[in-house]
């Protein structure tokens, strides 16, 4: 299959080199010293919000232990009803204060990082890394607060119908509220906090080095493909977009789909198969199911629930399930969860490119009709229905999603800032200075 792909695209590769020459330039960049300084500061300060959450949870644990002690004392002796009511009011007020503190801390994490990236980091690559880091820490901070809230509730209401998993019993609340426990969660390749995770016995360092070599090799491959093939295609598309030439735009989308899917697949493998697996090995993290066989998805829903398992599990545990538990219909909860995911996608794309276009969010919203369209196809007993669902997924994945978003955000970037590369080189394309 690889040989067929190489041969089928060999003509395009030769044509590219004949027309543009070698576009790869190590010294050609557009990042500023300010970008590196602010990016480094964000990288160091963003995780501090996790440790602020730890301090908040320490205070919450002390309050919970005090409440348990007072409850036992009231059971042993006679207490006046008025005194019990005052203690309950004090406890409820403290509970709300803890929730507010967690909410403010997590919100400040995302707001501050987004503000700095949007207004002070010019380079979209550096901005994307900073914004992604902030979103990951924000999700971890939220999960840390939500899970400890549930554990605290189970401690205060031991007769509740909700049961604690057996795995957690080796580190019951509040014994899990320690710096060591939080630091492990900070670096663990998961977005869902647990007091205890399944662990492997040892670290296989040769395995780690192989995975890291894959990350480096694939990163270089993506950089070369983007500079040599994607950049000319995007730049040549500016005139067609400005003139709203629909047939030319469609032709550019089809031409861009090959390189965009190639870069996406290489990035997917580098992140989920190589980097996260290497990190899991170093952290001796036992659960390494970071993705499923999304390429065989018979519906768009199956793709979104299998290509990024850490995010899917977070959405299901902390957004979808609580909504359903509070009486929201499952279909409405699914839509709300998807809209929330769309907002995160817009943050990750629009903020680093300094263009909040809503394209990434709209792209997620337009997935909803495809989900409802392909759900019945997946449930069909006939293989034809499943094949049709898989075809719809791949067509939307290759043509409508990434290439169109790349064109629109690149067009908006060029309209706002001009070329993103230096030095200025003319490749014989009218209006193109690189």
278-287 confidence digits (pLDDT tens): 999 999 998 8
Q: Model confidence at 132, in pLDDT bands (50, 70, 90)?
A: very high
Query: Concatenated DSSP letters for 185-240?
Result: HHHSS-SS--S---B-SS--HHHHHHHHHHHHHHHHHHHHHIIIIIHHHHHHTHHH
198, pLDDT greater than 70: yes
Residue 230 three-state SS = helix
- The answer for residues whose C-beta is within 8 angstroms of residue 227's C-beta and 6 or more apart is 23, 24, 25
The structure tokens listed for 295 are 């390429």
Q: Among 122, 318, 345, 354, which one carries the catalytic annotation? A: 345
pLDDT value at residue 423 = 38
Asked if 210 contacts 169 with a C-beta cutoff of 8 angstroms, the reply is no
What secondary structure letter does DSSP report for 382?
Answer: S
Three-class secondary structure of residue 199 per DSSP: strand
- The predicted-structure confidence for 30-69, as pLDDT tens digits, reads as follows 678 898 999 999 999 999 999 999 999 999 988 888 877 7
**pLDDT for residue 131 is more than 90:** yes
Cis peptide before 328 (omega within 30 of 0): no
Coil vs helix vs strand at 418? coil
Percent of the chain with pLDDT over 70: 82
The burial class, CB within 10 Å (0-12 / 13-18 / 19+), for 320 is buried
Q: Work out the average pLDDT over 327-336.
A: 91
pLDDT number for residue 393: 86
* Tens digit of each residue's pLDDT (9 = 90 or more) over 297-325: 888 888 888 989 999 999 999 999 999 99
pLDDT digits (tens, 9 = 90+) for 137-181: 999 999 999 999 989 888 877 765 566 777 788 888 889 999 999
Is pLDDT of 425 > 60? Answer: no
> What's the chain's average pLDDT?
82
- Inform me whether the pLDDT recorded for 429 exceeds 60: no
pLDDT band at 84 (very low <50, low <70, confident <90, very high): low
Q: CB of 189 within 8 A of CB of 279?
A: yes
The 3-state DSSP composition of the chain as helix, strand, coil percent (nearest 5) reads 75, 0, 25
Average pLDDT (213-223) is: 91
CA distances from 71 to 26, 97, 157, 175, 220 (A): 67, 21, 11, 20, 61
Please answer whether residues 176 and 195 qualify as being in contact, where contact means their C-beta atoms are separated by less than 8 angstroms.
yes
pLDDT for position 426: 40
Average confidence (pLDDT) over 87-116 = 87
What pLDDT, on the 0 to 100 scale, is given for residue 10? 61
Is 70 exceeded by the pLDDT of residue 74? no
Instruction: Please tell me the predicted confidence (pLDDT) of residue 428.
Output: 37
Residues 6+ apart with CB under 8 A from 291: 268, 272, 273, 306, 307, 308, 309
Q: Which of 287-296, 363-372, 387-396 reaches the highest mean pLDDT?
A: 287-296
| Residue 9: predicted pLDDT | 59
User: Which pLDDT value is given to residue 185?
Assistant: 95
**Is residue 3 scored above 70 in pLDDT?**
no
Half-sphere exposure of residue 226: CA atoms within 13 angstroms, side-chain side = 18
The pLDDT tens digits for 233-271 are 777 777 766 667 677 777 777 777 777 888 888 889 999
Return the residue matching tokens 């501090």: 48
Assign 422 a pLDDT band (cuts: 50, 70, 90): very low
Please indicate whether residue 157 is annotated as part of the active site. no
- Cα–Cα nearest to 106, from 143, 54, 141: 141
Whether the CA torsion 411, 412, 413, 415 is positive or negative: it is: positive
Looking at residues 326-333, what average pLDDT do you find? 91
pLDDT of residue 116: 94
Any bridge partners for residue 199, and if so which?
Answer: 285
187: number of CA atoms within 13 Å, CB side? 13
Average pLDDT for 93-112 = 91
């Amino acid at each position: 299959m690889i040989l067929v792909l190489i041969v089928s695209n060999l003509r395009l590769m030769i044509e590219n080199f004949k027309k543009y020459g070698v576009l790869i330039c190590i010294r050609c960049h557009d990042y500023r010293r300010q970008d590196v300084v602010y990016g480094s500061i964000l990288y160091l300060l963003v995780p501090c919000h996790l440790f602020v959450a730890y301090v908040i949870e320490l205070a919450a644990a002390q309050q919970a232990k005090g409440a348990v002690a007072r409850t036992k004392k009231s059971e042993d002796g006679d207490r006046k009803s008025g005194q019990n009511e005052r203690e309950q009011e004090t406890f409820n007020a403290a509970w709300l204060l803890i929730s507010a503190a967690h909410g403010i801390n997590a919100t400040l994490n995302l707001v501050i990082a987004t503000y700095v990236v949007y207004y002070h980091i010019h380079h979209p690559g550096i901005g994307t890394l900073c914004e992604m880091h902030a979103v990951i820490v924000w999700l971890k901070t939220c999960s840390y607060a939500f899970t400890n809230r549930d554990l605290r509730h189970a401690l205060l209401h031991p007769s509740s119908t909700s049961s604690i998993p057996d795995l957690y019993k080796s580190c019951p609340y509040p014994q899990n509220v320690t710096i060591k426990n939080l630091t492990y969660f900070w670096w663990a390749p998961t977005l869902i906090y647990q007091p205890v995770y399944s662990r492997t016995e040892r670290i296989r360092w040769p395995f780690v080095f192989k995975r890291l070599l894959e990350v480096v090799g694939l990163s270089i491959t993506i950089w070369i493909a983007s500079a040599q093939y994607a950049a000319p295609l995007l730049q040549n598309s500016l005139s067609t977009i400005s003139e709203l030439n629909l047939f030319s735009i469609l032709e550019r989308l089809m031409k861009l789909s090959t390189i965009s899917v190639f870069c996406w697949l290489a990035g997917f493998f580098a992140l989920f198969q190589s980097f996260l697996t290497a990190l899991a090995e170093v952290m001796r993290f036992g659960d390494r199911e970071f993705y499923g066989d999304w390429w065989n998805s018979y519906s768009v829903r199956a793709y979104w629930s299998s290509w990024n398992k850490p995010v899917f599990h977070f959405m299901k545990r902390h957004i979808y399930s609580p909504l359903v538990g509070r009486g929201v219909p499952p279909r409405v909860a699914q839509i709300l969860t998807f809209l929330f995911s769309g907002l995160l996608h817009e943050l990750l794309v629009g903020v680093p490119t300094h263009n909040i276009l809503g394209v990434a969010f709209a792209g997620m919203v337009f997935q909803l009709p495809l989900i409802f369209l392909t759900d019945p196809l997946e449930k069909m007993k006939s293989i034809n229905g499943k094949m049709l669902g898989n075809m719809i997924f791949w067509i939307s994945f290759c043509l409508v999603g990434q290439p169109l978003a790349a064109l629109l955000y690149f067009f908006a970037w060029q309209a706002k800032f001009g070329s993103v590369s230096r030095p200025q080189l003319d490749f014989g394309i009218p209006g193109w200075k690189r």
